[in-house]
Structure 1
């Protein structure tokens, strides 16, 4: 969900600290030495019915939010005012950045982190390594606390099933995945209506439609190679799951032997490699996501793979009547194990509390305000993205894209799935971005793709310094 990046300020800050010559991964690994240090708790207050986490009422809490597809107004206009209403004596120190790792890795390495962090974007921190280094607070007490505004309910009882598990590492919840995101192929309802097109259900319908777009001078399918290749590897693995079943993704998560070499993954990579070779614009390899998304808003691109943050991210560039819509990926074969309407949908957009922050309790309390029904409803209103809080869209007028993603989720029913290896193992994520671009833009083969990914998965599995997770 990263925005087009403006690097100058964050690079200057890092350079001023004398850190630019040190790789981010090396900085983060420095955290491990402090793993067993007891976190400070200088800001304990009195536990009451309205203050179940025992926050000190005048203690400052520091919050850092990633400024990307969701923007930051939901923090400044909704969640911070909610926190301040309950704790009027407390200052909420707020900052935003487009490069989370660049700005925050030095602070975690020196054990001076902010209290609550939104870890997202192309330059996010390695979440699995942070957890393994003891830098992330256990959120169990947050989920056991009463909801801020849903009487008689604990926080955990207000959430979409699977939310807590999505942020669980080795049996404990460390991360709140807040935005419930629907992934698929996004298109303009106006473009399709004007041309008499309908979203494809089968692969043959898909390629026929791409041919029709090509004949009209439209790039039928596109993504940005410079920083959005993870959109595309998600698409490849979604197709693999449809072909062979969602357990394929679980096997990859669990680093099972030859999981990437599963025939369904190979077949999915082959199909998408053919799409890249025949229908994509090779110039998009060097473009950022916002540049390709702008081309779609100009009706130069047909399908664009992304999550449901897209509508909000492109709001200022979307012409009237464009009307975003999302299509599930078409069935790859007649014998797919999952139906055509199956989708990748999951709690995402990571928020966590730093265990070595000055106000751990305040960081958790901030998350409690995010998980209030009102906090979630206003988040959706501002971002056009669903949250993990049940019933929080009641009374809202849904935008075209949000209505479309809600319908896609309903149509899929139980046939939605996700994976977690990308947030667990950054080394695999980095390699997959490169391997995907090679496959889609640079004449790579499906065999090469699965071989590269199996090799890096094997290397991660064999590396005793990397914390391992399972689901």
Structure 2
């Protein structure tokens, strides 16, 4: 999660680029002008979701264009393998730029190495008559892939961040999930007295514990707080919403509510300890259930709760969630078969494709209505309910995508905070200093919202 992104040189001179495939004639059945016999190269991050869902979309592509030969690559380290291809102006036609070591999308955008997806978004949805592709996506998906007014990536999964717990454990103990932070602290004391650690977290990757802290901050301060952070505003990290949220998480540590040794745990180790009921709560995105297949015991019934509210004065309701799309697909601008790459994404983002993915991976896709009619697992059901309850109160910070070095500075400071090595004041000052330095760095392209 917190691995550095590959952001080195990704450009070469135009005269080094191989010749692109000329497009085909556009029609109602071929709205993007695909040349039917043009080869298509697809590179997919083969992580927790595997790559079978991508291969199924390729099969659909082949059904429609049987003369097209598809070269599929499922990789663990996409950036490492593909960076030289961008440098030589010979990139694949579609890239799932996801996983540790992925290419820094802001660098690709600055180098004009990615295609504008407007034509795809305005094309007819593959299997929903009367709708454009853009009309089929969940809130925020298009915005997540937009830089300087151009949408250059389209993210296939929809991640919601929250606090996870075992529904069966809570029922057995008579515990109710807290709606306010005061209720959270009271329950944590009860849980601690029962001989269970109230919280654990993926200590080697403090991004995980940072997510609920920033969610709480957004609930307190509202969207203006979120925008100030993303826009690198002076004193953004001195806002009361952020310092109050930091105080709340410092208190979890101060009262001994974190599982001893959590700081040294990887994500798999912390999540395994939670599945063994050594801790009651763990912060994570909605991929957790899929990741814990084969680890969580039968009847564990994991569910995701929204981050409790700070007080009745919060600017966002308790139902508000931090949500964003992920599993980031792009079509390189120097690809040989740009039209084929766009058409592949039109197929991948079809309702049929998204529904099959949800069923196989217990994960919410970014296509609206993809889980309708499915019998959902406990975790995916709770995530879907959270998205519905949030409605227009789903929000997302953009700094992590825009400014990878700042994201690391924030995560590192929060790790120090929850391990009681720095105070809230030090935490705030340290992050503000990193934000200010970035704001003054003329070599870094800035984005605003």
Common topology (TM > 0.5): yes
Q: For 2:270 and 2:76, locate their aligned partners in 1 and report how far apart those are by CA, in whole Å.
A: 19
Who is 1:252 aligned against? 229
CA contact (8 A) 2:12 2:89 kept: no
Shift of 1:73: 2.5
1:444/1:112 CA distance change after superposition, 3 Å: farther
Distance 2:316 2:293 in 1: 33
How many angstroms does 1:32 deviate by? Answer: 5.0
Distance 1:452-1:124 versus aligned 2 partners, 3 A rule:
farther
Name 1:338's counterpart in structure 2.
316
Measure the CA separation in 2 of the matches of 1:465 and 1:40.
32
The 1-side partners of 2:5 and 2:312 are apart by 46
Residue 9 of structure 1 corresponds to none
Partner of 1:268: 245
Please list, as runs of the form range in 1=range in 2, the aligned pairs for 1:128-207 lying within 5 A after superposition. Answer: 128-207=106-185
SS at match of 2:9: helix
Cα distance in 1 between the residues matched to 2:417 and 2:14? 40
Q: 2:86 aligns with which of 86, 108, 111?
A: 108
Residues 123 and 439 of structure 1: CA distance in aligned 2, closer, same or farther (over 3 Å):
farther
Q: What is the CA distance between 1:187 and its match in structure 2?
A: 0.9
| In 2: Cα distance, 1:209 partner to 1:36 partner | 65
SS in 2 for 1:64: strand
**Partner of residue 329, structure 2:** 351
1:303 shift after superposition: 0.9
Q: Hey, what's the Cα distance between the residues in 2 that align with 1:91 and 1:187?
A: 46
CA distance in 1, matches of 2:403, 2:191: 38
SS across alignment from 2:329: strand
Alignment partner of 1:379 is 2:357: yes
Matches within 5 A, 1:51-450: 51-76=30-55, 78-227=56-205, 229-277=206-254, 278-441=256-419, 443-450=421-428
Single out whichever of 390-399 and 323-332 deviates more from structure 2: 390-399
Preserved CA contact (<8 Å) 2:196 2:279:
yes
The two structures, once aligned, show a CA RMSD in angstroms of 2.3
Whole-Å separation in 1 of the counterparts to 2:299 and 2:125: 39
Asked if 2 retains the 8 angstrom alpha-carbon contact of 1:24 and 1:105, the reply is no
After superposition, the C-alpha distances for 1:86-127 in whole angstroms (9 at most, x for unaligned) are: 122223322233333333333323333222222223433211
**CA positional deviation for 1:387:** 2.1
| Residue 222 to residue 66, structure 1, CA distance change in 2 (3 Å) | farther
Write out per-residue CA displacement over residues 417-452 of structure 1, whole angstroms, 9 at most, x where no aligned residue: 111110011111121221221112352222222222
Give the match for residue 14 of structure 1.
Answer: none
TM-score of the aligned structures, taking structure 2 as reference length: 0.93
CA contact (8 A) 2:42 2:73 kept: yes
Counterpart residue number, 1:462: 440
3-state SS of the aligned residue for 1:179?
strand
How many Å apart are 1:40 and its aligned residue? 4.8
Q: How far did residue 400 of structure 1 move?
A: 0.9
Which residue of 2 is the match for residue 15 of structure 1?
none
Count of equivalent residues: 448
- 1:369-425 Cα offsets, whole Å, 9 max, x none, are 121111111111112222222222222111111111111122223222111110011
Shift of 1:324: 1.4
Native 8 Å contact 1:68 1:313 kept in 2: no
> What is the CA–CA distance in structure 2 between the aligned matches of 1:231 and 1:117, rounded to whole Å?
26
Please tell me whether the aligned partners of residues 282 and 441 of structure 1 are also in contact (alpha carbons under 8 angstroms): no
Contact 1:436 1:449 in 2 (8 A): yes
Contact 2:148 / 2:447 at 8 angstroms: preserved in 1?
yes
In the alignment, structure 1 segments of 5+ residues that lack a partner are 6-22
**Residue 323 of structure 1, CA deviation:** 0.9
Query: Does 1:42 pair with 2:26?
Result: no
Question: Could you tell me whether the CA contact under 8 Å between 2:11 and 2:89 is conserved in 1?
Answer: no
**In structure 2, what is the Cα distance between the partners aligned to 1:316 and 1:306?**
18
Q: Which moved further from structure 2: 191-200 or 434-443?
A: 434-443
| 1:189, distance to aligned residue in structure 2 (A) | 0.7
Q: Distance in 2 between matches of 1:60 and 1:177?
A: 24
Q: How far apart are the structure 2 equivalents of 1:469 and 1:89?
A: 42
User: Structure 2: which 5+ residue stretches go unaligned?
Assistant: none
CA contact (8 A) 1:24 1:102 kept: no
Q: Deviations over 1:280-334 (max 9, x none)?
A: 2352323221121111221122111111111111112122111111111111234
